[in-house]
Each structure stands twice: as structure tokens, then as C-alpha cells.
Amino acid sequence: MNRPLSAIAGGATGIAVMSLLLLFLEVETRSNLAIFEAVARFAGMPGNVTFGFVLFVLAGVFAWPLAFMALEEYIPGGPDPATRGMVLAAVLWVVFVLTGRGDLSGGLLAIYVIFTLLAHLCYGFLLGAVYGRLTSEGPVESERYDPSDVSQ
Amino acid sequence: MGVISVLKEIPGLLVVTWALLGLAIYAGYRQNWQMRSVAADGGYLSGLGFKSEKPAGIFRWLTTVDHKDIGVLYIVFAAGAALWGGTDAMMIRTELFTAGTDVWSAETYNALFTTHGLTMLFFFVTPAFTGLANYFVPILVGADDMSFPRINAIAFWLLPPAFFLVRGGLITEVMGKMLAAVGVRWELLFSLRPPTLGWTLYAPRSIIVSNPQVDLVLLGLHLSGLATIMASVNIIVTIFTERDENITWANLDIFSWTLLTTSGIVLFAFPVLGSALLMLVADRNFGTTFFAVEGGGPILWQHLFWFFGHPEVYILVLPAFGLVSLILPKFAGRKLFGFKFIVYSTLAIGVLSFGVWAHHMFATGMDPRLRASFMAVSLAIAIPSAVKTFNWMATLWGGNVRWATPQIFCVGGIMTFIIGGVTGVFLASIPVDLVLHDTYYVVGHFHFIVMGVITFAAFAASYYWFPLLTGRMFNRRLGRIHGYLSIVGVFVAFLPMILIGYGGLPRRSASYPGAFEALQQLSSFGAVIIGIGALIWLTNLVQSYRLGPIVTDADVWNLRETGQFSREWQWFEEQLEDRTKFRR
């Protein structure tokens, strides 16, 4: 598959899982975290949850994956594209936490910080893994395992 | 300015633990997850991609009746449920970090411990061990497949709907929120609220509560019970009728023995739960009075529930004992000490488990003579459990112990089981129980067992059989880090609970007196350590499945030199030979 399409497929997978994770977190915490208000703030549409969310999805499906494709060589953590995706997502997460946390504090802030980081890492991982899988020529091959090697 | 205030408000402990996680994963990457160039035999198949006539992709997983595939489905389902239930646990510990009710509302807190318990017991532990049974029992007894492959598939596919029913309130609300995000608001979807009854669903509160979600929970549990019974019948029939000619009762492996006993318990315990649940549904909806004061009374529910509930404890723990008995000798370089007595003790626990239920009810004002007899049986069940523990120790004695990851978890599991078991002996004693009943002591006691030995055995198995399941090796350094973090985490998280219980603090309350705050915070810190360990486990297994070093020699654990190259590994060796025929 060509690279931009692979990247978009990765982004779509990632954003689908990430949205679901955020949705579950939102519901599980009885809306205490106001994740979707945070998403709207992150997307630059504070107060407008629906449009904020649409922008968030569009960015996750098109903007970041294409940026990822362009920047892949320069992102640390390679050569595994999934790790590089996680690095990119971690950077995005920093912005998300700073723009989106509203007036949370204490325990709620800790929950918000940890679970949004996990959701972002999931997004980055899936983005990179799907992209890598669709663009590579064959199955990923690695070294043989040697049982007599006990150095690890 | 925003940056500085964020740094101030995030607790320092969290920063440290997340830095630890990052370092551990980095260590993994330095170790062996560097992708190499494509080797000469590129196209080597992984363990989940056996050459076969199965349909490819998602249809393979939706239509499969192969016991190995169903086993994998079970394991993946159980891992997902465990992570969800673990999220509940982290949220519980967040609330308990401070004395007041200041993170979640009291109702949310009650829902959290209810769903945490139901998820972990019915949708994590039971499916995890059923999955291992599905994959390995036919291989270990030399059968081609389970006796009833289609029933096997049905048993698995009943679980996801059962899980959705039990956690339905959340799922309908997710759907409601999705619709709300595009501007449609459907109130019906918001009408189900998570149950707040505790996993024991004690009458009369479970009858009075008007939340319709409780009915869905009861039906979901009933469905999961059906699934568990079907799986157990399958395991029993497979072990009885499908054994290879050279597998006798005398040389049947220890894991199959424990699963056979477990399945026997399921056969007698789960129908009781099913009936009791239907009676409760009838009480709630059709005006029957099974558990109303004018009928059988709330105590009847407790009797029926614990007649299922206490054997259920052994349904969860016996497969874990089986795994420890199976894995421990492989890394001790010796045969399992007292094999026969481990089997006898398993059978003894299976029988005795039905005679101890009323020790959950010492504080309800039962007849003292009845109470004393249940105390006697509850103390007696410690004997077969101790037989196992001493046999494990004797196996290690004088052995050539190798501290591979599965072994760390086995020995850690024995450690936590000793603490969990001894605290249990105290609870079996009526006078002690009357003081400690329904305090954090009980929570600490059973978490030493369910988070200690049960989950540890599951982790040990996940590492021990990972090469067999995937054809790749996991990152051993990360595995060891996970092992040690988990042992430390369990002790830091649950020892404070024992102390809090001695202080007399009742469980299941979102707020508590400030005097307990330090211990509660220590416990929460331990929970974070366990959580970090679980994330390392997930990262390790996912990345090793994708990029780990390929296994070409079936004797991954050097078992041949001690004569313990057992049947599943011999089977794996044949598979590897078959697979290399397809190498280009």
C-alpha cells in the first residue's frame, strides 16, 4: 500500500481505539474528567464539544499520520515505527495535558494524566504498527533465540 | 505559568514511578527489540499463524472451533477484562488516597468496588484459566481437540455478551455519549447506572434497589455461569475419554488433574448460583418472596450465595496451584516432590470446599453449634493447602533453582499464598472473625491470594508458554523487572490493609477517619507499583510478539537436561519441524 494511505489507515485505527478508550474513561469516571471538553479545548474549539471532537478525529486520522510519515526518519525510537509513533504521541500528549486539564487537581488530575497518556501511547503504537505493517515488504524478521545464552 | 502549576499539582510519587516505567521499557529496547534486517529464511511463521486451511483474518477468529484458537480467544478476553478491572482498582485506590470523599462520589465508589469484584472473579480469572485449559489440556492428554469443539466455541462466545450485560450501564452510556456527541440525546441509554451492591449482591438491598441495571447484572452472571459450566463439562469429558493410550490416571500431568477437580467443583457450585440468581430476579420483578423476610429471609441468599461462593474461591485458586506445581519443578531441576499427595490434596480441597461456606456468615447470629462445625472444616481445609506448600518447598530444596521469570512468579506466589493462607486461618476462627469481619483485614487476606498466587500463576504461565504460543521469546530482563515489581507491589499494597483491618476500619466506604490515611496512601502506592508492572507485562508481550527473537529450538527452557521436556514441548517440537518445511 502506498505510504500516505498506510499512514491514514494507521491513524484511523489509532483514533478509533483512542476515542473508545477516552469514552470508556469518561463514562467510568461518571464524567468527572470532562474528557470531551478537554478534547474540544485541545482541538481549539473550547465549549463546542461536537465540532471539537470532529476536529480531533480529523487531526488524528489525517494531520498527525501524514506528519508522522514525513518526519518518521527524524523521530527517535526507530527503526520500529510503532515506537516512533509512541514518541510522537507522547509529545502530543504533553500539549493535551497542558491545554485540556481545565481545573482538575489532586487525585482526579493524576487519573487524567495517567489514562490520557495511556490512550495517547495506544494511538501512537497503533498508528506506527499499522503503518509499518502496511508499508513493509514482508514479515518482520528478527534474531534467533538462543536458549544457551543466559546473558539477558 | 500553566507548566509550573501542572508540575506542582502532580504528586512526586507518580513522576518517579512513570520515570521507572520509561526506564524499564528503554532497557527492553536496548536489550533485544532492535529490528534486524530480514533473515535468510524470511517468512517464518509465528505461533498464531500455523499453516492450515482456516480462513484468514477476522473470520478465522469468529468461526474457529479449534481448541488452540479458542484458548487464545479466552486468554485475550481475560487480559482485556483484567485491564478494565485493574482500571477500577486504580480508581478505588485514588479515592482512598485521601480520607474524605473528594475524588469520586460515594455512589461511583460503590459502583467501582462492585464492578471490580465481578469483573476480576468472573471475567478475568475464570476465563484466563479456562483459556489455558483449552489450549493445553488436549495437548497434555494427547487428544486431537476438546471432546465437544462446538460447545467449546459457544462457551467462549457466551462470555462477551455476559460481560456486556454485567457492565451494561457503562456500555449503554458509552453509546448514549456517542450519540450525544453528534447531537442526538436518547434518555433510555442513560437510565442504567452501574450496580452499587458489592459482588455478593446481599438481599434485601439487592431486591429493593430500583436500578434496572441490577437485573442485567444478574442475567449476565447467569449467562457467564452457563458458559463456565459448558467449558467444565468439556474439560471433564476430554480428560476422561480422550486420553492417549499411554496417559493413565497415574501419569496424568498435575495441571490436568487440578483442572479436572476444578471443573468438578464448577459442576456442583455454578448451578446453585444460577438458581439463586433466577430467584433473585424473580424476587425483584415478579413479587416472589424467596429472600424477603416473609419468605426465606435474607439469610437464605447468603447460604445459597456462599454455597457457590466459597467453592468458587477454590475454582479460582486450584488451577493456579496446578500451574505452580507444573512450572516450579522445571526451574528447580527436580521432579515435583510428592506428586501423589499434591493430587490427593487437590481432590481433598475439592471436596472440603463445599463444607466451609458458612464461615462467611459467622457474624450473622447462626446457631453456635453449627458455627463451630463450620469453623472446624474451615480450619481443616488449611491442611491440604499446607501439604501443597510444603511439597513446593521440598521441590525447591536441594534443587538447582534458576531464577527465570516464571520461577520468580511461582516462588513469589508461594510467598503471598503463605501470608494469604495464614491470615485466612485466623479468619476461620470464630472469635477472631467476629472482630475482623468486614474490615480491611479480609480485603488484605483475599487479595494476597487473588492478586498474589492466582494472578502470579497466570503471569508465570504467560511467560512460561509465551514461546510456545507465539514462536518468539519475550524480553527476559523486562520479565524479571515485572516479577520483582509485582512481588514488592503486592506486599506494599496489601500488608497495610491487614494493619488497617486490625485497626478496625470497615471496608466498602469511600471516606474514613484521618488516622488511617498514611497506611491507605502506602497501599495506594503499592497498587501503582502493581499497575506499572502490569503495563510492563503488556508492553513486553505485545512488542515481543511483534519483534522478539524467533524460537527455532523447542527446548527453550533447557528442560531436556533434567528430563522434564514434557508433552506440550514435545508437541511444540513437532510443530516447529512441520513449520520449518515451509521455510523459504
* pLDDT for A71: 84
* pLDDT for B44: 45
Res. B489 pLDDT band, cuts 50 70 90: very high
Res. B6 pLDDT band, cuts 50 70 90: very low
Please say if the pLDDT value at position B45 is more than 50: no
Q: Which three cell numbers stand for residue B59?
A: 473470520
User: B164-168, B176-180, B531-535: which range is least confident on average?
Assistant: B176-180
Chain A residues whose beta carbon lies within 8 Å of the beta carbon of residue B58:
none
**Helix runs in B142-167, H state only:** 149-166
The residue type of B559 is L
**CA-wise closest residue to B507 among B109, B166, B210:** B109
pLDDT one-digit tens code per residue, A71-82: 887 888 767 888
Q: Which three cell numbers stand for residue A37?
A: 471538553
Res. B28 pLDDT band, cuts 50 70 90: low
Query: What proportions of chain A, in percent to the nearest 5, are helix, strand and coil?
Result: 70, 0, 25
* pLDDT for A30: 77
Residue of B nearest to A118 (CA): B535
Question: Which uninterrupted H or E stretch holds B96?
Answer: none
* pLDDT for B359: 93
Q: What are phi and psi of B550, to 5 degrees?
A: -80, 140
Which 3 state secondary structure label does DSSP give B550? Answer: strand
A49 interfaces chain B, CB cutoff of 8 Å? yes
* pLDDT for B344: 96
Res. B18 pLDDT band, cuts 50 70 90: low
Chain B residues whose beta carbon lies within 8 Å of the beta carbon of residue A97:
6
Chain B residues whose beta carbon lies within 8 Å of the beta carbon of residue A84:
none
A88 interfaces chain B, CB cutoff of 8 Å? no
Q: How far, in Å, CA of A131 to CA of B552, rounded?
A: 28
User: B35-44, B162-171, B350-359, B376-385: which range is least confident on average?
Assistant: B35-44
Q: What are phi and psi of A145, to 5 degrees?
A: -90, 130
Please say if the pLDDT value at position B50 is more than 70: no
Q: Are B584 and B501 in contact, with CB atoms under 8 Å apart?
A: no
User: A48-62, B251-265, B394-408: which range is least confident on average?
Assistant: A48-62
Neighbours of A94 (CB within 10 A): 13
Q: How far, in Å, CA of B382 to CA of B400, rounded?
A: 29
Chain A residues whose beta carbon lies within 8 Å of the beta carbon of residue B35:
79-80, 140, 142
pLDDT one-digit tens code per residue, A108-134: 888 888 888 999 999 999 999 888 888
Res. B440 pLDDT band, cuts 50 70 90: very high
> Ranked by mean pLDDT, which of A40-44, A103-107, B153-157, B202-206 comes out on top?
B153-157
A53 interfaces chain B, CB cutoff of 8 Å? yes
Residue of A nearest to B88 (CA): A28
- Interface ipTM: 0.86
Neighbours of B488 (CB within 10 A): 15
Do residue A145 and residue B552 have CB atoms under 8 angstroms apart?
Answer: yes
Please say if the pLDDT value at position A141 is more than 80: no
Q: What are phi and psi of B63, to 5 degrees?
A: -110, 0
Chain B residues whose beta carbon lies within 8 Å of the beta carbon of residue A146:
549
Q: What is the DSSP string of B336-383?
A: PTTHHHHHHHHHHHHHHGGG-GGGGGGGG---HHHHHHHHHHHHHTHH
* pLDDT for A152: 42
Residue of A nearest to B45 (CA): A139
Q: How far, in Å, CA of B266 to CA of B260, rounded?
A: 10
Do residue A80 and residue B178 have CB atoms under 8 angstroms apart?
Answer: no
Res. B42 pLDDT band, cuts 50 70 90: very low
Chain B residues whose beta carbon lies within 8 Å of the beta carbon of residue A77:
29
**CA-wise closest residue to B410 among B464, B349, B469, B475:** B464
State the smallest CA–CA distance between residue A133 and chain B in angstroms.
Answer: 10
Do residue A143 and residue B549 have CB atoms under 8 angstroms apart?
Answer: yes
> Ranked by mean pLDDT, which of B44-48, B210-214, B531-535 comes out on top?
B531-535
Q: Are B584 and B43 in contact, with CB atoms under 8 Å apart?
A: yes
A136 interfaces chain B, CB cutoff of 8 Å? no
Please say if the pLDDT value at position B329 is more than 80: yes
Instruction: Give the C-alpha distances (Å, rounded to integers) separating A115 from A60, B83, B204, B531.
Output: 18, 12, 37, 12
Residue of B nearest to A50 (CA): B181
Provide the mean pLDDT of chain B.
89
Interface test with B, best of A103, A137, A142, A152 (most B CBs within 10 A): A142
Neighbours of B164 (CB within 10 A): 15
Res. A13 pLDDT band, cuts 50 70 90: very high
A143 interfaces chain B, CB cutoff of 8 Å? yes
Which residues 89-118 on chain A approach chain B with CB closer than 8 angstroms?
97-98, 101, 105-111, 113-115, 117-118
Q: How far, in Å, CA of B31 to CA of B536, rounded?
A: 14
* pLDDT for B35: 45
Residue of B nearest to A132 (CA): B546
Do residue A115 and residue B108 have CB atoms under 8 angstroms apart?
Answer: no
Residue of A nearest to B91 (CA): A111
Please say if the pLDDT value at position B348 is more than 80: yes
* pLDDT for B38: 38
Q: Is the omega angle on the peptide bond into residue A79 within 30 degrees of 0, that is, cis?
A: yes
Provide the mean pLDDT of chain A.
81
Do residue B181 and residue A50 have CB atoms under 8 angstroms apart?
Answer: yes
* pLDDT for B444: 96
Question: Higher pLDDT residue, A147 or B123?
Answer: B123
Q: How far, in Å, CA of B285 to CA of B169, rounded?
A: 19
* pLDDT for B103: 85
How much is the average pLDDT of B195-218?
Answer: 91
* pLDDT for B23: 73
Chain B residues whose beta carbon lies within 8 Å of the beta carbon of residue A144:
39, 549-552
* pLDDT for B185: 77
Chain B residues whose beta carbon lies within 8 Å of the beta carbon of residue A113:
10, 14
Q: Are A106 and B102 in contact, with CB atoms under 8 Å apart?
A: yes
Chain A residues whose beta carbon lies within 8 Å of the beta carbon of residue B557:
147
Please say if the pLDDT value at position B7 is more than 70: no
How much is the average pLDDT of B170-192?
Answer: 76
How much is the average pLDDT of B307-323?
Answer: 95
pLDDT one-digit tens code per residue, B365-380: 889 999 999 999 999 9
Residue of B nearest to A36 (CA): B181
How much is the average pLDDT of B573-583?
Answer: 74
Please say if the pLDDT value at position B518 is more than 90: yes
